[in-house]
Amino acid sequence: MIFEARELVVRYRRNASAALDGVSLRVPSGCLYAILGPNGSGKSTLMRALLGTLPLESGSAALDGRTVNAWTRAEIARAVGVVPQIESVAFPISVREMVGMGRYPHLRPLGREGVSDRLKVQEALRECDVESLVDRDVSTLSGGEAQRVRIARALAQAPRALILDEPTASLDVRHEMEILRLLRRWADSGITVVLITHRLNAASRFADRLLLLSRGRVAAEGTPNEVLREDILESVYEWELDVRTDPVTGSLAVTAR
């Protein structure tokens, strides 16, 4: 699955400054692509624009070469699994039901889940280490557990691409590393993974390419070595930073002074 965007401009209110101001990108198939940037730089807006859930002022977004508005929501849901940053549940539902919703886009109208759907759900529950939580009410889960349940739901969609908005924000070290390794493995198996994150070091270590946003514009794009440069990062984050190769991981690590 290939994501493309050309000169995206998004404005939430008519006279407000643009949330996205001429952003272009191309995410090749099977790439682990990290989108970085300070708070309010337009990362989540970019995700919505790529997925066609936000009206564009100008520019265009395309999935696999076809403009995103030509896809139905169900077609997109069969191809792209999305893990939004925030979600609130109005009525009590179990983890099993929540992850089972990942199969909805694949069901026939009025159809129910069959054996293969159940197996996909089971597999997703196992991969995200939430099998033991299946009967829990999602509203009783910890932040990290809920995060993993949402990732399992996206995985149950059997997607060709995944977009995750801050998926490791409330995870402990072990679960963060497990999820990042999973993302890496999925990318290696051909699934395109777009990871929105604040964690520069995780992006540096696991992503193939990085896109650094600043106030709705692209500040830098390229491999971790091309993007994670002190001068670029310091001007974007407005803080003194130190970038050097981490002796343990062998990738660039950013430390705030």
The CB-of-11 to other proteins minimum distance in angstroms stands at 12
Distances in Å between the alpha carbon of 257 and those of 195, 213, 233, 243? 26, 21, 13, 10
| By the rule CB under 8 A, 57 interacts with other proteins | no
In which residue are the tokens 């997109």 written?
76
Among 60, 104, 177, 215, binds other proteins (CB under 8 A): 104
Interface with other proteins, residue 51, by CB under 8 A: yes
Is 97 a binder of other proteins (CB under 8 A)? Answer: yes
Q: Which positions from 126 to 145 touch other proteins by CB under 8 A, shown as an x/- string?
A: ---------x-xxxxx-x--
Report, in angstroms and rounded to the nearest whole number, the Rg of the chain calculated over CA atoms. Answer: 18
Q: Which of 78, 215, 217, 229 binds other proteins (CB under 8 A)?
A: 78
Should residue 87 be labelled a site residue for other proteins when binding is judged by CB under 8 A? yes
Cβ neighbours for 85, distance < 8 A, ≥ 6 positions apart: 44, 165, 166, 169, 196
218: left (phi over 0), alpha (psi -120 to 50) or beta: beta
Binding other proteins by CB under 8 A: which of 18, 20, 68, 77?
77
Instruction: DSSP for 7-45, please give it.
Output: EEEE-SSTTSPPSEEEEEEEE-TT-EEEEE-STTSSHHH
Please give the angle made by the CA atoms of 207, 4 and 14, to the nearest 5 degrees.
110
Residues 6+ apart with CB under 8 A from 167: 83, 147, 150, 151, 179, 183, 195, 197
* Interface with other proteins (CB under 8 A), residue from 70, 74, 119, 256: 74
Angle at alpha carbon of residue 114, lines to 111 and 120, rounded to 5°: 120
Binding mask 152-181 for other proteins (x = CB under 8 A): -----x------------------------
CB of 82 to other proteins, least distance (A): 4
Nearer to other proteins, 175 or 217 (CB): 175
Q: Is the Cβ–Cβ distance between 24 and 8 less than 8 Å?
A: yes
Q: How many residues bind other proteins (CB under 8 A)?
A: 43
Which range touches other proteins (CB under 8 A), out of 84-92, 184-192, 194-202, 207-215? 84-92
Q: Which stretch binds other proteins (CB under 8 A): 69-77, 187-195, 212-220, 222-230?
A: 69-77
Contact residues for other proteins (CB under 8 A)? Answer: 48, 51, 53, 55, 72-74, 76-78, 80-82, 84, 87-94, 97-98, 101-102, 104-105, 107, 109-110, 112, 135, 137-141, 143, 146, 149-150, 157
